[in-house]
Amino acid sequence: MAKHKSMIISWLLFLVAISLLYSALYPGSEEPQQEEAGKTIQLILRTSKGDYWKNVTMGAQAAVKEFGITLHVSAPADEGDIDGQLQTAMQSLETKPDAIVLGANADSAFEPFLLEAAKRHIPVIAIDSLLTSGEIASYIGADNYLAGKEAMREMADRLGGKGDVAIIAFSKGGINGKLREKGIRDAVKDYPGVRLVDGQFCSDEYGACQAAVRGMLDKQKLDGVLSLNTETSIGAALELKHRLAGEKIKLVGFDSSSELLELLQENQLQALIVQNPFSMGYLSVKHALEAASGSSVPDQVEIGMELITEENMFWLKNQKLLFPVVQ
- Residue ranges and CATH numbers for the domains of the chain are 2-141+276-304 (3.40.50.2300), 144-265 (3.40.50.2300)
* Residue 21 pLDDT: 42
Q: What is the mean pLDDT of the chain?
A: 88
Distances (CA, A) of 55 to 148, 305, 311, 324: 22, 15, 24, 8
The pLDDT of residue 198:
95
Higher pLDDT, residue 33 or 143: 143
| Maximal C-alpha separation, the chain | 63
pLDDT tens digits along 258-305: 899 999 999 999 999 999 999 999 999 999 999 999 999 999 999 989
pLDDT value of position 316: 85
43-57, 58-72, 303-317, range with greatest mean pLDDT? 58-72
Share of the chain above pLDDT 90, in %: 72
- Model pTM score: 0.83
- Where are the strands (E) in 128-193, listed by range? 138-141, 163-170
pLDDT above 80: residue 24: no
Q: End-to-end CA distance of the chain: give it in Å, rounded.
A: 24
- CA-to-CA distance for 202 and 204, rounded, in angstroms? 7
Whole-angstrom distance, CA of residue 196 vs CA of residue 270: 18
Please list the residues that pair with 250 across neighbouring strands. Answer: 224
Confidence label for 147 from pLDDT (cuts 50, 70 and 90): very high
Contact 121, 311 (CB under 8 A): no
Say what the pLDDT of residue 49 is.
83
pLDDT, tens digit, 9 for 90 and up, residues 167-188: 999 876 578 889 999 999 999 9
H/E stretch holding 302 reads strand 300-302
Query: Taking the alpha carbons of 258, 263, 267, 270 in that order, is the dihedral positive or negative?
Result: negative
Q: From CA 106, how far away is CA 34, in angstroms rounded? A: 36
DSSP 35-76: TTTT-EEEEE-S-S-SHHHHHHHHHHHHHHHHHT-EEEEE--
CA gap 161, 174 in Å, rounded:
30
